[in-house]
């Protein structure tokens, strides 16, 4: 039922129906891990979180313990952090190291994954130290985000996102500073948040005091794109003068760019928004069909990073808006478990959702 339920998304938005409630359950989630998550590009870090040789960051993706690290030569890598001896994690958390020494029996791996030392292994017949290394995953950096892919045959991310790269150039996202995240335990299917993030149809209902007065739902629209991504534009009500921002606007933006914000997704779940003075990265770490951790990272131009007062105000505003969205996601998760839940219809304001569901349907059917 699960792949089929999603595969039925009509290729005409005006005729399409939203996914069946079964698409949000455990069986569908297991399929998504195999066919979508392990074949897609997943963002796990920002390059400035791994600025110096030896900087590392542990992350678990769908049960896979990984570590992102900048090696001595300055190259970024994402390695399995499962020890090649008897599978303990060679490292946890984040920090800076010159090598990874497994705490269990003290095998030592270089930052490039090579085995450097393995005590008391001289009697193991034919043990070839040079053949032992932590497996590396495919990694690409895009706009300052470090992405990984479990699929060695997946198309290059840079090639898939080429139209988006040019589109985002004015904001210079790759040079931004990544600030401390705001962390939310999120007891919902991951798609509920992606769907909430990718439409502004709900500004009038859910954000009547925060977003609707400045970025009205009715004038938002998703661009026509071809690729595993979506861009939703949110024009300001008044386009004659720049919107007021807490931080100084990014240098060189046009009046058009200073009178809207963009919401972006690289499917399956790299989510970001682009405002005239900052970018937000919504990092989803799925745990099961009905739970993930959400980390919201503000990213700002280097010159703005020291403005702690404005940044605290910005955080409070982001949290306020997210609390409004939490109310929605809590209720939708409960609603999708109802025996009376069914397939809905899309508004034209939900085109990016339909693009997302079409992407999922294609991947699940493949
Ligand atoms: S499990 Fe890592 S050294 Fe034994
Ligand atoms: Fe919202």
Partnered with residue 295 across adjacent β-strands are 183, 283
Would you state the pLDDT for residue 7? Answer: 57
Separation of 263 CA from ligand 2 center, angstroms?
A: 11
Ligand of minimum distance to the alpha carbon of 121: 1
To test the pocket of ligand 1, the residue of 105, 115, 118 to mutate (highest count of ligand atoms within 8 Å of its CB) is 105
Nearest CA to ligand 1 atom 4: 105
Would you state the pLDDT for residue 3? Answer: 56
Ligand of minimum distance to the alpha carbon of 134: 1
Would you state the pLDDT for residue 159? Answer: 96
Say which residues have a Cβ less than 8 Å from residue 60's Cβ, sequence separation at least 6.
66, 285
Separation of 200 CA from ligand 2 center, angstroms?
A: 7
Is the separation of the CB atoms in 108 and 102 below 8 Å? yes
Ligand of minimum distance to the alpha carbon of 86: 1
| 78 vs 80: CA distance, rounded Å | 7
Would you state the pLDDT for residue 9? Answer: 83
Nearest CA to ligand 1 atom 3: 105
Would you state the pLDDT for residue 51? Answer: 97
For the chain, which residues score pLDDT lower than 70?
Answer: 1-8
Q: Give ligand 1 pocket residues (Cβ under 6 A).
A: 83, 85-86, 88, 102, 104-105, 107
Digit-coded pLDDT (tens) for 100-143? 999 999 999 999 999 999 999 999 999 999 999 999 999 999 99
Separation of 203 CA from ligand 2 center, angstroms?
A: 6
Q: Among the atoms of ligand 1, which is closest to the Cα of residue 118?
A: 3
- Chain-centre distance of CA 286, in angstroms? 11
Q: Among the atoms of ligand 1, which is closest to the Cα of residue 107?
A: 3
Is the separation of the CB atoms in 260 and 233 below 8 Å? yes
Separation of 89 CA from ligand 1 center, angstroms?
A: 8
Separation of 99 CA from ligand 1 center, angstroms?
A: 14
Q: Write the DSSP symbol of residue 130.
A: G
Is the separation of the CB atoms in 273 and 260 below 8 Å? no
Query: What is the token pair recorded at 200?
Result: 């502004």
Q: How far is CA 167 from CA 123, 229, 262, 264, 300, in A?
A: 59, 12, 11, 11, 18
Nearest CA to ligand 1 atom 1: 86
| 122 vs 131: CA distance, rounded Å | 15
Would you state the pLDDT for residue 5? Answer: 57
Ligand of minimum distance to the alpha carbon of 91: 1
Would you state the pLDDT for residue 304? Answer: 97
């Amino acid at each position: 039922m699960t792949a089929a339920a999603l595969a039925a998304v009509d290729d005409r938005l005006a005729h399409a129906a939203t996914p069946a409630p079964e698409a949000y359950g455990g069986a569908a989630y297991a399929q998504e891990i195999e066919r979508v998550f392990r074949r897609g590009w997943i963002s796990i870090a920002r390059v400035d979180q791994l600025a110096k040789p030896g900087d590392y960051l542990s992350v678990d993706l769908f049960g896979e313990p990984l570590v992102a690290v900048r090696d001595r030569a300055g190259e970024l890598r994402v390695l399995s952090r499962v020890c090649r001896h008897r599978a303990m994690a060679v490292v946890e958390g984040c920090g800076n190291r010159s090598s990874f020494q497994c705490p269990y029996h003290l095998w030592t791996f270089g930052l490039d994954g090579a085995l450097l030392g393995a005590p008391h292994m001289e009697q193991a017949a034919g043990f070839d130290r040079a053949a032992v290394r932590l497996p590396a995953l495919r990694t690409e950096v895009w706009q300052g985000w470090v992405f990984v892919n479990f699929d060695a045959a997946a198309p290059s991310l840079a090639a898939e996102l080429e139209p988006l790269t040019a589109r985002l150039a004015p904001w210079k996202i790759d040079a931004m500073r990544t600030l401390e995240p705001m962390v939310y335990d999120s007891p919902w299917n991951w798609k509920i948040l992606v769907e909430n993030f990718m439409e502004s149809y709900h500004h009038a209902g859910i954000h009547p005091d925060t977003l609707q007065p400045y970025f009205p739902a009715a004038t938002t629209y998703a661009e026509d794109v071809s690729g595993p991504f979506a861009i939703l534009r949110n024009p300001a009500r008044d386009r004659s003068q720049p919107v007021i921002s807490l931080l100084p606007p990014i240098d060189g933006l046009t009046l058009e760019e200073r009178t809207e914000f963009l919401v972006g997704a690289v499917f399956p779940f790299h989510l970001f928004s682009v405002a005239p003075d900052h970018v937000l990265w919504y990092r989803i770490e799925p745990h099961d069909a009905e739970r993930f951790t959400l980390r919201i990272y503000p990213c700002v131009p280097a010159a703005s990073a020291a403005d702690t007062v404005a940044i605290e105000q910005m955080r409070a505003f982001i949290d306020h808006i997210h609390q409004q969205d939490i109310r929605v996601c809590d209720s939708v998760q409960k609603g999708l478990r109802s025996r009376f839940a069914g397939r809905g219809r899309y508004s034209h304001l939900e085109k990016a959702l339909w693009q997302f569901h079409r992407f999922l349907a294609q991947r699940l059917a493949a």
